[in-house]
Structure 1
Amino acid sequence: MPGQRSASEFLRAGRYGVLATQSRSLPGYPFGSITPYVLSAAGEPVIYISTLAEHTRNINADPRVSLTVFDPADAADPQAGARLTWVADACALVPDAARMIAARYYRFFPAAAAYAGTHDFSFYALRLVRLRYIGGFGKIGWIEPQQIDLANPLADAEAGIVEHMNNDHADALRTYCRHFFGRDAQQAVLVGADADGVDLLADGTALRLPFTARATDSDALRQRLIELLRLAREASSRA
């Protein structure tokens, strides 16, 4: 249940949020817009935005922003669901850092790759100042940057893990989708991996498969994936 997730687990499971910037057109007022994000190796939300967009113009004038993330599954009663507000400074990534995050971003959001050939889009990291997390009863409060660690210990190995799983274990990925999410996907692809879980696209739908124990290196990740596959296959054999 969402209320039992930590702030880091909740942020990792998200794919988009409401980006609030300081309006240039109406000084003193916030301007909100829906914005996709992925987490960098350091655990910072990274957004990919056009120079033509209102929020980009606002950021270039005043980098102070917030990103509010919520769970669409809580739409029937959103105030009872978990949500997180990431208060940050938006920083444009230098070319080397942008190249490093681009491949990950395009895996999570394949349609965004079409923008890569233009000069209108740039990557911005949201550098944390403070975050507010409401995760259920007894889980409400502010969290300081030093109190949360979202760095991905698998960042350097992630691209190879993704390639290996998609090329050699497509059946396992479809099994995960079928057993853990009830989706009989025609195409299931792995797009991300970190210590707390893996991210998939099942016929274009984003899915987050969390681990019950952290995987801080590639060997541990392999063991987690094998165990999840074993559980799924055993359940299927009993059905």
Structure 2
Amino acid sequence: MPGQRTASEFLRAGRYGVLATHSRSLPGYPFGSITPYVLGAVGEPVIYISTLAEHTRNINTDPRVSLTVFDPADAADPQAGARLTWIAEAHALSADGTGAVAERYYRFFPAARAYAGTHDFSFYALRPVRLRYIGGFGKIGWIEPHEIDLSNPLADAEAGIVEHMNGDHADALRAYCRHFFGREAQQATLVGADADGVDLLADGAALRLPFTARAEGVDALRQQLIALLRETREAADDA
């Protein structure tokens, strides 16, 4: 349930947030826009935005922003659900520093690859100043950046993990979707892996599959994936 998730688990499971910037055209007023994000290797949300967009122009004048993430599944009673506000400064990433995070972004949001190579789009990292997390009723508080660890110890190996799973274990990915999410996916794709879980696209729908224990290395991740697959097979045998 959303109320049981930690702030880090909640942010990892998210894909979109409301990006608030300082308006240039109406000074003193905030400007909000829906913006996709992925987490970079050190755990900062990374966004991919166009120079033509109002929020980009705002950021280039004043880099102070916030990104509010919420769970669409709580739409019936959003105030009872979890949400996190990531207060940060937006920093443009240099072309030399975007290789791995760009590929990660395109895996999570395949349509964005069409914008690659254009001069209009750039990656920005949101470097935290302070966080506000509401994990459910009575679970409210401020979090300092040093109190939350969103770094990915599997970052260097992630691309290889993704390629291997998608190339050799597509049946296992579909089994995960079927058992854990009740989805009969025609196409299931692994798009991300970190110490706490893996991210999938099931016929375009984003899914987050958490581990039962942290996987600090590739061998530990392999054991987690095997255990999850074993669970799907045992459930199928019992059906």
TM-score (norm 1): 0.99
Alignment of 1:1-239 (within 5 A): 1-239=1-239
Q: Which runs of 5+ in 2 are unaligned?
A: none
| Large movers: runs of 4+ above 3 Å | none
Distance in structure 1 (CA, Å) of the matches to 2:173 and 2:69: 27
How much is the aligned-residue C-alpha RMSD, in angstroms? 0.6
Secondary structure of 2:20's aligned partner: strand
Per-residue Cα deviation, 1:53-112 (whole angstroms, up to 9, x for no partner):
000000000000000000000000000000000000000001121222110000000000
Per-residue Cα deviation, 1:33-67 (whole angstroms, up to 9, x for no partner):
00000000000000000000000000000000000
Distance in structure 1 (CA, Å) of the matches to 2:86 and 2:71: 15
Deviation at 1:137, TM superposition (A): 3.2
Aligned length: 239
Query: Is the Cα contact below 8 Å between 2:80 and 2:137 reproduced in 1?
Result: no
Distance in structure 2 (CA, Å) of the matches to 1:168 and 1:205: 21
Distance in structure 2 (CA, Å) of the matches to 1:140 and 1:197: 25
Distance in structure 1 (CA, Å) of the matches to 2:101 and 2:152: 13
Distance in structure 2 (CA, Å) of the matches to 1:211 and 1:183: 19
AA at the equivalent of 1:62 = D
Distance in structure 1 (CA, Å) of the matches to 2:5 and 2:137: 12
AA at the equivalent of 1:7 = A
- After alignment, is 52-61 or 95-104 more displaced? 95-104
Deviation at 1:212, TM superposition (A): 1.4
Distance in structure 1 (CA, Å) of the matches to 2:79 and 2:136: 10
Q: Which runs of 5+ in 1 are unaligned?
A: none
Q: Kindly, what percent of the aligned residue pairs are identical?
A: 85
Deviation at 1:22, TM superposition (A): 0.2
Distance in structure 2 (CA, Å) of the matches to 1:139 and 1:88: 22
- After alignment, is 136-145 or 17-26 more displaced? 136-145
AA at the equivalent of 1:43 = G
